[in-house]
Structure 1
Amino acid sequence: MIPGVPIDLSPAAPDPSAPLAATAAPAARVAEHTLSALGVFHSYVWVFLVSFGVALCATPLMRRLAVRHGIVDRPNEARKQHKMPIAYLGGAAVFLGVIAGIFFSYLGDPDPTLGDLAITRFGEPLQAVPFSIVLGMVVIAIVGLIDDVAGTTPRVKIGGQLFAAAALAFDNVGVKLAAGLLVPIADALGLPITTISDPFIGTDFRTLIYFIPLPFEVLGYSQIPIDIVYWVGTALIAFFVIGACNASNLIDGLDGLLSGVTAVATAGLLVVALALAVTGDGPRDGQRIVLCMAVLGACLGFLPHNFNPASIFLGDCGSLLLGYCTIVIILTLGDTGKTHLVAAGLIIYSIPLIDTALAIVRRKMAGKSISSADSDHLHHMLKRALGVKGAALSLYGFGAAFATLGVLMTFWRQRVVYAITAVLLSYIAVIAIKVARKKQIEEQALALDAPPSVPPPEAAPPLAVPETQAGTAAAGGVST
């Protein structure tokens, strides 16, 4: 699909199970218009501008607040090598930008040419970002902010991420990713498949229902239905949310790195979202576009203050939030029932995921805990060779390459795209593992060549005095 090329949309018959989507625009008016990627982008660009402006203006205010109250990141020689204390609370500015863009989308004027993609109609939101997603943002941002200000334990942060994942599962956001994985297997095995309607997005999907018999009837029921797809999807959501939040946190190690990499990734995801909106491969088209616009605008509004030399850092509030927002966009791709779209989204967001995977392998090879800190991340290796700005710009370039591959996978499902992606991932993995192994060997060699430690000198014992001399001295005589 080429952006800007109009595609005719034929109106669908109204569906009473989808009251909002079915009343988005009169069928006759939609039939008179054509829909293009540029047209959709133009209608949603105000979400981007609002998020950009709020983040750009809120960041210096948050910096002053952080400096006034001593909420700063202090340098140390081990890992944090900036010379002066740098303000935290950048994540709060990004949060305000994202939330402002989402709330603005609730107030936007409908465009009749967009049909079901119209932001609002008669004051009622159409395909608005669900409250569950916003609630997850709020919880993760608050937990991260508490950690930036007063410190907290990893268990508390994981608890916040699990709460956000549970909220997504409650609204069925991304749950149907499991359907794309399990239903084909069930088809091949000849297992019974049930088709049900999703009241949240007004579409039907296939799922696997397993019935557990009861020893006696309860309220007229003799068995309990268990939706296998829902519970497997819930587990996948929790895995993805925790993984993405912590991957973003790990890569936030250089000025402007995470905000820039996330901006590149969300730009790629925006291209995918616009393409799906134009071709009608939804659902959740409007939600994806709003989220992409809001996150992209907030990142670009924050980046001028965060690029080297940075005057403010994201902190855990920002790093966890950006990881959550990005993975939510990717999870909504799973609601199309096409697992290759989720794979494409993960490839677009490859840089943090690759760095985290390599960190786990590297620490396991060194016999260390996977939660132990080190200075061998991808950005650390590039920084030693290219400096801070060079490392950040290089990873922007790698991120753009992966985003291009992900977009190609969306439109062009050919083996060559998968092959190129696999080769690129393997190349980065091999280089990183070889560098880690080389450093491990160097550390072992230094340990063997180090001189043995010499114990500190002890006080010399008093000289032994011969017994005869001691007796003579005690008697006060002199021997002759």
Structure 2
Amino acid sequence: MLVYFVPFFIALIVAYALTPSVKKLAIKVGAVDRPNARKVHTHIIPRLGGLAIYIGFLAGVLYSMPMNHEMLGLLLGCTAIVCVGIWDDICNIPAKVKLVGQILSAAIPVAFGIQIEWLTNPFGNLIILPEVVAIPLTIFWIIGFTNTVNLIDGLDGLAAGVSFIASISMFLMAVSMNQYLPAMIIISMAGAALGFLQYNFNPAKIFMGDTGSMLLGYTMAVTAVLGLVKTAATIALVVPVIALGLPILDTLFAIIRRKMSGVPIFTPDKGHLHHRLLALGLSQKQAVLIMYCVSIVLGIVAIFVANVNYKTGILTVAVVLAVIIYSAKRIGILHKTTNSTHKD
């Protein structure tokens, strides 16, 4: 285990050391986040903090691992998604343009052979996927995770902290399955996220912006696929889904809530979990800490499910989902919402 501490601390230290300089750069190029009716901060805050996460991550990975075909595909893809994020943080590019950038970025590791080429069914047999299925499925998977972290980036320190917790869960799973390459990648990302979190926790001095949120989701998605390639175990994909269950379910609940209200699913509202916790009278710090705790529980569940038989895993997930749905109803996440014209 000691070998993994080196990339972790390199990434942490580099990200921490560079964040103040990135903050100055963000102000200089106009990459700032302005308050509006749906945002909880009340003054202009520089974003682009994801650039520090990216450089820290690169430092940890490149110091600890030799370059190979798969690593090159991952790092080129990460660089591409960071470029899209920087462009968006500075210029606020249209959603369609950003989606095209995400698709192209997702296609890079796929072109290097990192693909969901097979799955396992409950009876242990491999289901081989033809390229016509594997390629679009992998791209869809990567884009989905790329946007998942972005959707939870609503409170100081929330996205960085939840991503750190999810990364640790994935790391522990990778180590238990003797997946050296995925473990090194994800522990480097965990270190970079934690280093940046020192400046991003409430009261935030800088935001990660789309540069950071997309990079975090992207890296976890590609690393999960890489784990699948190395082990032929579908559980490599299940762990990040459960570990990132908080933003995934929050998004699902938002879609259900808006459907119930008869409004388009992309219509923004103040019904997300962090909005509801603030409405209950909690401070930003309290709300974030509660969501950290939920993420830790989900991370533990992910690791547990990965190490038990199929039936026990399904039962565990069902019980956890039932508790989450009940809690969501209690705090109003699934209540009908009123329309809003503000950008989400």
Calculate the TM-score normalised by the size of structure 2: 0.90
Q: How does 1:192-211 map to 2 (within 5 A)?
A: none
- Number of the residue aligned with 1:216: none
* C-alpha distance 397-182 of structure 1, shift in aligned 2 (>3 A): closer
Q: Structure 2: how far apart are the matches of 1:407 and 1:179?
A: 19
CA deviation after TM superposition for structure 1 residue 332, in Å: 2.2
Q: Distance in 2 between matches of 1:333 and 1:183?
A: 20
Q: 1:181 Cα shift?
A: 5.5
> How many pairs are equivalent?
336
SS in 2 for 1:130: helix
In structure 2, distance between residues paired with 1:414 and 1:262: 26
CA separation in 2, counterparts of 1:182 and 1:242? 26
Question: Is the Cα–Cα contact under 8 Å of residues 63 and 90 in structure 1 kept in the other structure?
Answer: yes
Larger radius of gyration: 1
Partner of 1:166: 107
Q: Aligned letter for 2:199?
A: H
Mapped contact 1:248–1:320 kept (Cα < 8 A): yes
Q: Is the Cα–Cα contact under 8 Å of residues 7 and 64 in structure 2 kept in the other structure?
A: yes
Check conservation: 1:90, 1:314, Cα contact below 8 A: yes
> Could you say if the C-alpha distance between residues 327 and 247 of structure 1 is closer, same or farther in structure 2, counting changes exceeding 3 Å?
same
Mapped to 2, the partners of 1:70 and 1:239 lie a distance apart of 32
**1:400-431 residue CA offsets vs partner (Å, 9 max, x unmatched):** 11111111122222533432222222332344
| Counterparts of residues 419-434 of structure 1 (less than 5 Å) | 419-432=315-328
Distance (whole Å) between structure 2 residues aligned to residue 175 and residue 183 of structure 1: 19
Per-residue deviation, residues 93-150 of structure 1 (Å, max 9, x unmatched): 11111111121123xxxxxxxxxxxxx5xxxx4x675211111111111111111101
Q: In structure 1, what is the Cα distance between the partners aligned to 2:322 and 2:301? A: 15
2:202 alignment partner, SS class = coil
Counterpart of 2:169 (choices 252, 268, 282) is: 268
- Bigger relative contact order (CA 8 A; separation at least 6): 2
The 5 A counterparts of 1:385-396 are 385=280, 386-396=282-292
Q: Which has the higher strand share?
A: 1
For the pair 1:90 / 2:49, whether they are aligned, the reply is yes
Q: What's the counterpart of residue 217 of structure 2?
A: 323
Q: Of 103, 120, 125, which aligns to 1:180?
A: 120
- Aligned equivalent of 1:399: 295
Aligned to 2:58: 99
Residue-by-residue CA offset, 1:150-170 (whole Å, 9 max, x unaligned):
121112211122112222222
- 2:53, 2:196 within 8 Å by CA — same for their partners in 1? yes
Helix, strand or coil for the counterpart of 1:83?
A: coil
**Contact persistence 1:175–1:230 (CA under 8 A):** no
Give structure 1 stretches of 5+ with no counterpart: 1-40, 107-119, 188-205, 209-227, 278-284, 445-480
Alpha-carbon shift at residue 270 of structure 1 (Å)? 0.7
Whether 1:230 and 2:131 are equivalent positions in the alignment is yes
**Cα distance change on mapping 1:410 and 1:153 into 2, 3 Å:** same
Paired residue for 1:362, among 257, 268, 271? 257
SS in 2 for 1:89: coil
2:80–2:105 CA contact under 8 A, matched in 1? yes
Distance 1:99 1:140, change over 3 A: same
> Is the 1:330–1:346 contact (alpha carbons within 8 Å) kept by the matching residues of 2?
no
